[in-house]
Structure 1
Amino acid sequence: MNNTFAGWPYVAQLLREMVDASRIKLTAGQQAALLAIAERIERHGVILADEVGMGKTRIAAAVAQCVIAAGGRVAVLIPGGLAANWREELQTCGINPSAPLLSLRQFIAAWHPDSNTTPWFEQPCLMISHAMAVWRLGSNSPEKRWGLLPALVHRWQHKNDCPDLSTPELWRAARLICKAIKSLPATHPAKKQIARLVKQADWDSLLLDECYSAHYEQRHQLATSVGLGLGTFELVIVDEAHKSRGADSSLNRLLEEVIQLGSEARRLAISATPIELNSRQWQQMLGRIKVNAETMLPAINEYQSAVAQVRTDYANSEVQQRYYQASAAFEQALSPYLLRRDKREDESVQKFLQHGSPVYRRKQEIEVDTFSLPMNWKQAVCAAEALSFVNRLHENSRAKRVRLTFSNGHGVSALLNQPEDAALEAHDEERQQADDNADTGVMAGKRQQRAAWWQQQLSAAMLADNEGSLFNHPAILATVEAAERVCADGEKVLVFGRYTQPMATLVQLLNARAMLRTLKTRGEYWPQAKVHNEEWPAIQHASRQLYHCEVNRGDIEAQLSAQYKRLEKQRRDFRRHLLALLKQGLANSTDQGVQALFAVFEQSVNLNPQHHDLASVANALYTLTGSAEQRRSPAHLAAAFGDLVNSARNRDQFDAVESDEDESQVAVQQWQHVLEIIHQEYSRRESGYARLMDGNTSPATRNLLNLAFNRQHSHPCVLVAQSRVAREGLNLHLACRTVIMLHLEWNPGVVEQQIGRVDRLNSLWQNMLDEALAAGKRGEALPTINFSPVIFKGTYDEHHWHILCQRWDNLRAQLHGNPFPLSVQPADAGCRASMQSILDAAPNFSPLRRGKAGTDDVS
């Protein structure tokens, strides 16, 4: 909270100087984006909509640095899991933020009288979670959680602590906030806001905990009080600004109620998918930067309509003219606020397009052909379809929806595992219908009899599969085989799904098959000494699938035990020299935090050589290094140790060392936390050839999985990730260029985010492309980014994929300026010329403005 901001013209000047001086590492596209922001930021906020993986965070961090240099304050609003990425980018630009603000509890705790933490409103840059405004308040909530409002109002009115409160944090917060606001000019927004707050406050209600429930006015006033404690901001950066679009969402409450703006505040909204499902979402996105889109709606709607028409009649001159005019109007309306670079401007993509095919992302559908399935699965498909049609939703919703879930395995097992319950349910419903109305009861009874019969057919078909319906589910098997083909070439695979049970089954089956192959070939060691009970069903099915025979558990365990002893001998030899190699490799390290933690590690091992600390760290480093040569290299080991330590720390909740703390003691505490995480992750009983990452995966484990997946020679080779957990915030591109969509999405923006996990700067694909070009390869021989939807033919999947593709085409028209589906490639030269003229006229929001023809050439 200050009154020293030099203004946006000065910020714009600093941005231009930053680009000219090359003070931080920026690509040409990032430099162009900063110059474009400098042109716009003096008048209003900006939407930065560069495609996934093109460095938007670095651009925003550079803008933040210039705002702070001009005397302003910055709030960075981030979804969960991105704090470490943001901290790294901000530090690159010379900003050292404190730990991200995650909750109301954390906000209040910082005001404790014994705390030496700098008040929130004095910190130049705050990272604040999107979920910070999720408050569960109401009857019986402690006063610490709602008492800031009465404390602040009383202090402003009476200049002393509120006697009706007993929480020291609230007294200190109110005292410091009021003191800071009183030092501001009368025209400052914070002074006006607290005056309004005091005027509106109803003292009789301020001390009632139930009045802070949702939808009470005191709840909104409390949000304003918290915002005053955070101080006013000149720049608010909203990362992943497309999230939580609803008016009552946590992000919207944070933006509209908590965050307090300075008199000249601007918002910078960051999103690779500012719209996802329809063009109306432009209005909401523009609202995120405080721009009223009413006057732009005609141009937005006309462009969407013109796109729909030109797709079907692109050779018609009148339709073309309409599209040209609509495109120009759409670009004119949005270009003052919107900046978007897409992959066509990426250097690697341009090299690929110059020497390869027109599309560097290759769609490879994994199709499950119903007609080629075993008879029991054909019968199951028919039964699932029939069940959906003969049931009514209010009568048996589970059976009604089985048609929608059969193809992906979700919910099928519940229906199949309880055939008696389903039959009994049908019988009870039949009787109830008959009791309600004898005439309609006859018809309902017939329908329920048909449903029961189809349920019996479905159950019988699955029982013929040796109770392994999910292990032998055609979509899961097709995914397994596709993933194994990629891994056989030394690459990794990222699988996205939505439903946990099929995803867990996929992981179990991949691990079982990989273990059997390893034991059969006697190649690398399998890091497991015995078969665990929960693994045995998957191993049985894997043996039938791979070798068409039953497997003996005793034989498997004997093989595992023998080879594990040899593996342990190698690990013991590795441990013997590890400390000396690490010390040598870290001697010239500039990461003082890693060096401090290594010093604690070394001391603990020297004091107690038999303790498990050394074994835990050694096992982790043995797994992360892929060869004997790397395990003998001090530099490789030191780099792996640094990555391991930084990943094990929960960097979303990092804490700066206070001035009165003993740094060595802090290092001891941090090392104990790191060691606990390492021990949990690398003492797992089962192999990690394939791993599951879902909502139950801790942040620290996610970081370690991210680290291991990005290393070519370490497990996991296949990461099966729940979409809502891993589609944002994780960079999984260093050893992977293949994405499999086990469960189809409805939102094309989500799919863009999924593919964007592997399509990033410095990716495996970029490195492979450079090597291929250097070797003289061209055309189809060049590597691609591969994405593979799993489509179960003859089921609801086909319709689902068709709808997703339509929505994806609409998204591409809005964000990429290409109104045509990628599959449209006319053979006629005249048609190609018509299409090219339309592509040339497409909207362009790139700061580079390299011309509209570019790489969308259809010839």
Structure 2
Amino acid sequence: MDWVKTADFLDQLTSHRTDDLLDAGQRASVAELARRIRSGQRAALLADEVGMGKTRIAVALIAAVRHAGGRTAIVLPAGLGVQWQKELKLFQPDDQTLLPLRSYDGFIAGFLTDEDAEGNEKRRRKHIDRLTDRRQQRELPKKGWAAEEVLMISHTFAAMRFPNAGDGPAGGWRRELLPNVVRLLVGRRRNFMRDSFQRTEVSHVYASRRAAHTIADTITEHNLQDDPGLIGDLAGDYKWLGADEYKHKILRLIGYGLGQFDLIVVDEAHKARGADSSLSRILGPVSWEAEDPFRLGMTATPVELDSGQWIDTLGRISGRDDDEDVTALADLAEWINGYVDTVKRIQIEELDNPLTEGFESAASGFQDALRPYVLRRDKRNDPQVRAFQEVYGDYRVVKDLKVSPGTEGFTRDWLRRFCAAEALSILPQEDPRVKRARLSVAQGYGFGFTPDADLAEPLQVEDEFEGPQSFWIDAFCGQPADIYTHPAILAAAQRIESYTAQNEKVLVFGRFIAPMNALTRVLDAREMLRRLRDGQHWPAAKVRDENEPAVLAVMKDPDLCAPSDGIAAINQMLTARYKKWSTARRAELARLHREINALAPKDDIAALLVSFLRQDDDGEELQGDIGPLLGALGDRRERADAPWTGVEILDLFRGLLSDLSTDEEQENNDTLRSRLVVYLQDYSGREGSFARMMYGETLPQTRSLLQSAFNRASSWPMVLLAQSRVGREGLNLHEACRTVVILHAEWNPGIVEQQIGRVDRKGSCWLHDLKSWHEHAEGDPPRIRIHPVVVSGTYDDHNWQVLKARWMELRAQLHGEVLPKHAKHSATLPEIEALRHRIVAATPSFAPRDIDNEL
């Protein structure tokens, strides 16, 4: 690998002064990487603020390494694979990088061949078709893992598990790799005892032995067999190794099977910091690096809760993933802690000259210590943001959505429940009775008091409490809590609707499924009643059974003018309107069917579409997948209210099939149809779409669909509720939304930054609205709005205050926001103002050296 050639290629990229591939800030970062590579540096932490285009910079480096003949491993959360594939194609249009490698099963499957299946012809054909499909879907390599120029590996890949020696005959196929490698290295072969394996395992046994040959050949070719740390005593019997010990020995062998890498890119490099985490194992024994490798870490939040996390993150990109200390990094701790302590004083003490001088010294030391490693652009380096802030102040506004006894819907019953929860929270936690009581309260309380997994089964509170404790339990349990009337959920719905009424979209983040699901149903129920009141269409013929409690709860709002006869009357109205709409739809589809049918003889895609557009013989209703299909195509339209045309529906259908197929080979209609059926499952019986929820069980294809639909201003959903661990990273939700509601408090400010970053990105809705505002200059300038939902006076309120303190510390280290907020035009003494200017000037910056020239 020629790193000089790599740096030259990066310089060529920066010489282009257009924003087609790289904008000005990204070009400055690429130029800085080239400079550091030439100086001999082989590690960097790309820590740009969320939404500023880190991935594009990393892909530029990957393209340069490719050009120089090197290989790259991208270690990333698996859900980001498609996004990376799209970015890689920008620099190499014929790129065929595989989807992320997720598991040991996937690794071994990469060595499968068409001949591995046993049994009858049907079984063999099924094996071949499955293998072909996985290769077409870019799950498996065609020529082996080591032949891939760029290989994506999931963060969780090394979390693989192996059976113990006594689990099944010989431990099954999952324990075949290690003993076969050992025997091959000493010139022996391992006998294949067919009776030791299930028939369905045989193909994986063959693949495991093929992998063993590849690994043994690689070890021999590179003279690695004499390394005592490789697999230990080659003469030992690995049949009886425990699962953990077997895994420890096999990780390096897997690395040899994946091949040698010149560049390791670690996306979300701050995650799973423990030495025994899957990510650390990947960067340790699994990664087989060349003699002169480069590691590029990527994260917007290298530090989250503790300033010492700088050391963990930097250690990861510097090669310290075996839990051994690195003296050079350990020396940084003094400078980092000194800076953090000085910032805390700046934010609470009165400014004077000694304090300012102390900050200048600490900031200089902090910057000098981290600059060799860190490369970071933030919104201070964005000319549009900087221009806005100089005139109007912060472009983001955080305004708590306070929920208190004075809030609408905060009934006496709910007040008693909140009091019960707070009272139980101060009781001794070691007492199992208290734990059971707290879980019971949480189950009725229904608002993030405990993880949903803990509430899988109802808990009965025994009569074990006396005195005041018994009073609080009775106060809560006297009447079952109705989560649809929870004051925080009602307050959140009211605030959300204040934006959707102006045709603005809202992104909601939450941690716990039950209240998120309740808010989704409340929003849908309220929108349904509004549309019935106003004579508009609602896409359902009746209220689904699981939605009835939410509908009954929101019917109490007099503004919605719900029928007095309840659900039955609503269903009658929905049925009548749906039949009218369905009749019009059938007529429209008959017309579309004729148009597309005329195209079918000359267009295979049109012929496939015709098979989905069919009717019952009696003409009463459409059959098959037409409902879900039209829903999917409708989410792809630019204008949802425009009449359909045959040409448009065919083009949309062609685009949908293109997304479901691969770039490599033409697939038959049966294959495309099967994928389409799976894809449309999410549209079958969907509950309203004004508000949608995305959580852990949401299919990747559905997440992509929701992302696309939410980014179109004219299409539903208007509200997207995303579980924090699913939606806070990798999703671009910024094109039609600039409002974020945070339903549940987080402990980690880095998570909140990631959440806000879903809408605060390049090309955001806020920037578009700002441009429109400048053209008309009416009212206040637009801003990105963040609304944490805070129940005043509770532990939830305390949690938010702790989070905000941590948030200030994080932004001081990463965003240069050292001084406490003060009014833009508030009067200050000239001496104090001069000190403030000195502090701003001394604030650390890790931006590329040439960024001001580029901008």
Shorter-chain TM-score tier: 0.7 to 0.9
More off after superposition, 165-174 vs 721-730: 165-174
Match of residue 737 from structure 1: 738
In the TM superposition, what is the alpha-carbon distance from 1:152 to its structure 2 partner?
2.1
The residue matched to 2:485 in structure 1 has which SS? coil
Question: Pairwise mapping of residues 574-589 of structure 1 onto structure 2 (< 5 A)?
Answer: 574-578=588-592
Q: Deviations over 1:433-478 (max 9, x none)?
A: xxxxxxxxxxxxxxx3321112112334xx3xxx553111111111
2:633 corresponds in structure 1 to 621
| Aligned counterpart in structure 1 of residue 522 of structure 2, from 500, 503, 509 | 509
Compared with structure 1, are the counterparts of its residues 544 and 235 closer, same or farther at alpha carbon in structure 2 (3 Å cutoff)?
Answer: same
CA distance in 2, matches of 1:420, 1:45: 52
1:24-74 residue CA offsets vs partner (Å, 9 max, x unmatched): 611001101101111223312110011111111111111001111111100
Q: Does 1:488 align with 2:501?
A: yes
Amino acid at match of 1:522: G
Counterpart amino acid of 2:730? Answer: G
Alpha-carbon spacing, 1:416–1:598, altered in 2? closer, same or farther (3 Å): closer
State whether residues 28 and 851 of structure 2, in contact with CA within 8 Å, keep that contact through their aligned partners in structure 1.
no
Tell me whether 712-721 or 379-388 shows the greater mean CA deviation: 379-388
Secondary structure (helix, strand or coil) at the match of 1:612 reads coil
Counterpart of 2:11 in structure 1 is 16
Structure 1 residue 638 displacement after superposition: 6.5
**Contact kept in structure 2, 1:68 and 1:124, CA below 8 Å:** yes
Aligned to 1:134: 159
User: Given the alignment, which residue of 253, 264, 272 partners 2:300?
Assistant: 272
| Distance change (3 Å), C-alpha of 1:199 and 1:766 | closer
SS in 2 for 1:243: coil
Return closer, same or farther for 1:720/1:471 CA change in 2, 3 Å cut-off: same
Structure 1 SS opposite 2:555: helix
Residue 796 of structure 1 deviates from its aligned partner by: 1.3
Pair 1:561 & 2:552 matched:
no
Report how far residue 582 of structure 1 moved: 8.2
CA contact (8 A) 1:468 1:541 kept: no
Give the Cα separation in 2 of the matches to 1:102 and 1:416. Answer: 30
**What residue identity is the alignment partner of 1:207?**
K
> Does the 8 Å CA contact 1:600/1:668 hold for their aligned counterparts?
no
1:761 counterpart SS class: coil
Is 1:385 aligned with 2:422? yes
Instruction: Give the drift of 1:827.
Output: 3.4
Tell me the residue number matched to 2:146.
Answer: 121
Q: Is residue 42 of structure 2 the alignment partner of residue 35 of structure 1? A: no
Note the C-alpha offset of 1:682.
Answer: 2.2
Is the 8 Å Cα contact of residues 352 and 782 (structure 1) preserved in structure 2? no
The aligned amino acid for 1:200 is G
**1:606 and 1:674, CA in 2 relative to 1: closer, same or farther beyond 3 A?**
closer
Instruction: Tell me the SS of whatever aligns to 2:294.
Output: strand
- Please give the secondary structure, in 2, of the residue aligned with 1:46: strand
**Alignment pair present for 1:690 and 2:691:** yes
Q: 1:656 to 1:103 in 2, by over 3 A?
A: farther
Alignment equivalent of 2:674, drawn from 672, 675, 682: 672
Contact 1:575/1:614 (<8 A) preserved: no
State which of 435, 452, 455 in structure 1 corresponds to 2:470. 452
Q: Which amino acid aligns with 2:585?
A: R
- What is the 5 A alignment of 1:54-453? 54-94=52-92, 95-114=95-114, 117-139=142-164, 140=167, 142-158=171-187, 161-163=189-191, 167-180=205-218, 182-183=220-221, 190-192=222-224, 195-196=227-228, 200-208=232-240, 211-214=241-244, 216=245, 218-290=246-318, 292=326, 293-313=329-349, 315-355=351-391, 357-372=392-407, 373-389=410-426, 393-394=430-431, 395-399=433-437, 409-411=447-449, 421-426=460-465, 448-453=466-471
CA distance in 2, matches of 1:246, 1:272: 19
- Cα distance in 2, alignment partners of residues 722 and 481 from structure 1: 20
* Matched residue, 1:791: 790
The question of 1:752 aligning with 2:753 is answered yes
Distance of 2:628 and 2:43 partners within structure 1? 50
Partners of 2:369 and 2:29 lie apart in 1 by 19
Residue aligned with 1:544, SS: coil
* TM-score, normalization by structure 2: 0.85
* Residues 785/423 of structure 1: CA separation in 2 closer, same or farther (3 Å cut): same
Report the Cα distance in structure 2 between the residues aligned to 1:413 and 1:35, rounded to whole angstroms: 46
The structure 2 residue matched to 1:663, chosen from 666, 669, 685, is 666
Match of 2:555 among 543, 559, 564: 543
Q: Distance in 2 between matches of 1:478 and 1:768?
A: 26
Distance in 2 (CA, whole Å) between partners of 1:645 and 1:225 is: 39
Shift of 1:619: 3.5
Question: What is the letter of the counterpart of residue 363 of structure 2?
Answer: S
1:401 deviates by 7.4
Q: CA offset at residue 623 of structure 1?
A: 4.9
SS state at 2:108 partner: helix
Q: Secondary structure at the match of 1:207?
A: helix
**Aligned residues of 1:46 and 1:337 also touching (Cα < 8 A):** yes
Distance 1:354 1:58, change over 3 A: same
Give the Å deviation of 1:246.
1.1
Question: What are the residue-to-residue correspondences of 1:790-829 with 2, within 5 Å?
Answer: 790-822=789-821, 827-829=827-829
1:366 touches 1:791 (CA, 8 Å); kept in 2? yes
Structure 1 position 314, deviation (Å): 5.2
Task: Classify 1:639/1:475 alpha carbon distance in 2 versus 1 (closer, same or farther; 3 Å).
Answer: farther
Give 5+ residue unaligned stretches, structure 1: 184-189, 427-447, 587-594, 855-859
Query: Would the aligned equivalents of 2:78 and 2:100 in 1 still touch at CA under 8 Å?
Result: no
Amino acid at match of 2:181: L
Contact 1:496–1:723 (Cα < 8 Å) also in 2: yes
| Structure 2 CA distance for aligned equivalents of residues 32 and 193 of structure 1 | 44
Amino acid of the structure 1 residue aligned with 2:608: F
Q: CA deviation at 1:232?
A: 0.9
Q: 2: distance between equivalents of 1:695 and 1:251?
A: 20
Counterparts of 1:571 and 1:788, CA distance in 2: 40
Q: CA RMSD in A?
A: 3.4
For the 8 Å contact 1:49–1:340, the answer to whether it is kept is yes
For the 8 Å contact 2:304–2:750, the answer to whether it is kept is yes
Quick one: percent identity of the two aligned structures?
35
Counterparts of 1:503 and 1:409 in 2: how far apart (Å)?
A: 9
Any unmatched runs of 5+ in structure 2?
A: 115-130, 132-140, 195-204, 320-325, 617-621
Distance 1:563 1:537, change over 3 A: same
The answer for the alignment partner of 1:25 in structure 2 is 21
Contact preservation (8 Å) 2:182, 2:234: no
Matched with 1:842 is 843
Question: For residue 421 of structure 2, what is the amino acid of its counterpart?
Answer: A
**Displacement, 1:411?**
4.9
1:716 aligned partner, one-letter code: P
8 Å CA contact 1:709–1:719 kept in 2: the answer is yes
Q: Using a 3 Å threshold, how does the CA distance of structure 1 residues 516 and 22 change in structure 2: closer, same or farther?
A: same
SS of match in other structure, 2:463: helix
8 Å CA contact 1:410, 1:499 repeated in 2: yes
CA shift at 1:696, angstroms?
2.0
> In structure 2, what is the Cα distance between the partners aligned to 1:251 and 1:12?
28
Any conservation in 2 of the 1:742–1:790 contact (CA below 8 Å)? yes
Report the residue type matching 2:545 in the other structure.
N
Q: How much does 1:571 deviate?
A: 2.8
Partner of 2:767: 766
Equivalents in 1 of 2:486, 2:99: separation in Å? 45
